[in-house]
Structure 1
């Protein structure tokens, strides 16, 4: 069997979409295992940009089965919009399936998300207001509605009416806002029910059968380790586990069936939204990275916060994910900088921390301990082998390997799926 996982090692936006797209050429099955449409994946094929939010990045490969797994929270209206866009571009979409165990993001989840952010003031989390957090909260409170409920619409309607009545009390009595129209919500779902139900499968048996038959199964997550509900900078995190362990619960597979864990590392650090960011640069260097790297959110369009590479964070991700390989992205963005800095530890109140502290307050007070490396001026975007890279770029890569203890198997030197340098064979060595 070959169960490979692609995860982010920082705060998301590392370029996982492109890497999944590249690896998907060899995959039989591609499974999205957590998150929702709060994450944007950008894939560029022959100069054409595809921005996906809910569909797996591997959906562009029509020969593979694409499954939205049980651990994903799904806004069915967004899903159908994305499918419609792909169909308009002439792409086949009948290979897209949805786990009937996946929870539905209801319109009241989106509304609740908006109101929570609006009324939180300076304590807002900085969510994308897509309803992901409220949907996961209801899931674990056992007040969720699952895709399988749409098969029996009377069951769906009863739950939806009951839960919205509770939500409307929250909206009107606590937030002092308008109530939602339940009849309209039910009718909107009735209109799309058939198209959604036709794509539902019991995915756990399908995915495990594919693994047992020796097929190549690629598991794709959203966000990244520092946004993990357990191991990120809580509470400025997402509402699920975008780590390799999240595959087991989010897709329904045993740990022993995961043979390769590929961590995507951006050559510098970025973060969207609120929360501490130790290596953040609020100067001309940070702005240069933002502009050259095109660091603007695929989902929201808002500028990303930029900073030097934080290997304390990446090492944290290596440990909790059990990385077997690193894919280094956007190293081409650093070309032209004379000096580069890499954070190797934190200092808090005079004490050195070689790990990421659990307390957000401690992280917020941390100052970075840097190693400085010489930069390079060459354009890397057309290079195709490790040997072609400038000496200082090679030193930068080797520093990452030595610090993390994980090999860099692939280097992305541009946005297109062809702009890659392969140091090790990620496909055959993962089997």
Structure 2
């Protein structure tokens, strides 16, 4: 029963695409279980770089079946564009499966997202403006549009009418915008039906049957633990559950079938968007991390905020996800620093705190307590084994492992598929 969950252990952008792609050749199914095209993965295969937004990274692995689960919200135009772009580059996308229960991001969801974020002004959350939050809100309010609704025009029309009854009142009376026509939305959505039809399936049944047949299924989270709607730095979070529990609800697989939970950790810390970030750097070190690490959002195009490694967050991710292993990425980016600070605790109102505070107020006031670790200057991109790393790099990895509470089973020493040191097999 080899079911694995692979997720971000920080604020997202940890390098999940590289990790998933590395495992892709050994697994039968790769499943996205939450989020939408607000997530982004960069995967480097040979001299080719692929930017994936909605598609599971397994789409690049021949023989692997990529699955978009019921917990994902799907923008049909983005999905079809992404498929077309991969097809033009010779990637076979015919095995993709999409849950008929996944919710559709409609044009009015995108409109609502943009106008409400703009209206918040200084209090804005920092959303990507792609309609993700409003689509999840519609889902919870039971006025959402699902993929399967594209194949029943009567049901689709009724649902769009119900959603726009309220949204048009808000758009016209509160935001001084034009009302959105029901017929126009229905026509646009129906236009996607035939193009998506070959991919639509009962993915819950497919995945459970696969596990019963001892197939290897990898569940791939978007964003990261600290962006989880329940367990992240609320309200500066995404609208779904990237944590391990989200894999069960977002794919329809019971928790007893999960055998391993792998957290992806960057060797330093980044985040995109607003919200507290205790180790954030505003100096030359922060700019160097951003430049050397290529820290620009795959989906948003925004520069990422950069800071030193935060062990408090890593410990929290281990606990809330039940992590069994870590995949440490971008260790090579730290090459060249004489000393590397690592946040081992916070100072809050004069008191040392070693666990993530549950209070939003306390977290906003948290100041990092650093421990200095010796750096290294040697190029590590050609390292194939742990012993190939400089002694100080080895010590850095061991220190992070001890502080984070789970073994580090793989280390990324460069962006390429082959630039990885595997210490313990994930399979």
In the alignment, which residue of structure 2 is the partner of 1:231? 231
- Structure 2 residues without counterparts, runs of 5 or longer: none
Are 1:61 and 2:57 matched, yes or no?
A: no
| TM superposition shift of 1:379 | 0.9
In the alignment, which residue of structure 1 is the partner of 2:182? 182
Is the contact made by 2:39 and 2:54 (CA closer than 8 Å) also made in structure 1? yes
| TM superposition shift of 1:406 | 1.0
Is the contact made by 1:381 and 1:414 (CA closer than 8 Å) also made in structure 2? yes
In the alignment, which residue of structure 2 is the partner of 1:269? 269
Is the contact made by 1:4 and 1:258 (CA closer than 8 Å) also made in structure 2? yes
Is the contact made by 2:29 and 2:58 (CA closer than 8 Å) also made in structure 1? no
Is the contact made by 1:62 and 1:95 (CA closer than 8 Å) also made in structure 2? no
Is the contact made by 1:29 and 1:216 (CA closer than 8 Å) also made in structure 2? yes
- Partners of 2:143 and 2:200 lie apart in 1 by 21
Is the contact made by 2:157 and 2:182 (CA closer than 8 Å) also made in structure 1? no
In the alignment, which residue of structure 2 is the partner of 1:302? 302
In the alignment, which residue of structure 1 is the partner of 2:88? 88
In the alignment, which residue of structure 2 is the partner of 1:28? 28
In the alignment, which residue of structure 1 is the partner of 2:113? 113
- Partners of 1:246 and 1:189 lie apart in 2 by 27
In the alignment, which residue of structure 2 is the partner of 1:411? 411
In the alignment, which residue of structure 1 is the partner of 2:319? 319
- Structure 1 residues without counterparts, runs of 5 or longer: none
- Partners of 2:348 and 2:189 lie apart in 1 by 52
Is the contact made by 1:204 and 1:252 (CA closer than 8 Å) also made in structure 2? yes
In the alignment, which residue of structure 1 is the partner of 2:284? 284
Is the contact made by 1:278 and 1:366 (CA closer than 8 Å) also made in structure 2? yes
| TM superposition shift of 1:178 | 2.2
| TM superposition shift of 1:50 | 0.6
Superposed CA deviations along residues 354-401 of structure 1, whole A, max 9, x for unmatched, are 111122221111111111101000111111111110011011111111
Paired residues, what number? 427
Residue pairs, 1:236-275, within 5 angstroms:
236-275=236-275
- Partners of 1:213 and 1:235 lie apart in 2 by 41
Superposed CA deviations along residues 34-82 of structure 1, whole A, max 9, x for unmatched, are 0000011111111211101100011111311111001101111111110
- Partners of 2:99 and 2:292 lie apart in 1 by 39
Is the contact made by 1:69 and 1:102 (CA closer than 8 Å) also made in structure 2? yes
Aligned-residue CA RMSD (Å): 1.0
- Partners of 1:363 and 1:79 lie apart in 2 by 37
Superposed CA deviations along residues 244-299 of structure 1, whole A, max 9, x for unmatched, are 11111111111110001110000000010100000000000000000000001111
SS at match of 1:26: coil
Is the contact made by 1:150 and 1:197 (CA closer than 8 Å) also made in structure 2? no
Q: Which runs of 4+ in 1 moved over 3 A?
A: none
| TM-score normalized with structure 1 length | 0.97
| TM superposition shift of 1:192 | 1.7
Which one is further off, 7-16 or 40-49? Answer: 40-49
- Partners of 2:153 and 2:23 lie apart in 1 by 38
- Partners of 2:163 and 2:107 lie apart in 1 by 11
Is the contact made by 2:337 and 2:376 (CA closer than 8 Å) also made in structure 1? yes
- Partners of 2:217 and 2:287 lie apart in 1 by 39
| TM superposition shift of 1:164 | 2.0
In the alignment, which residue of structure 2 is the partner of 1:376? 376
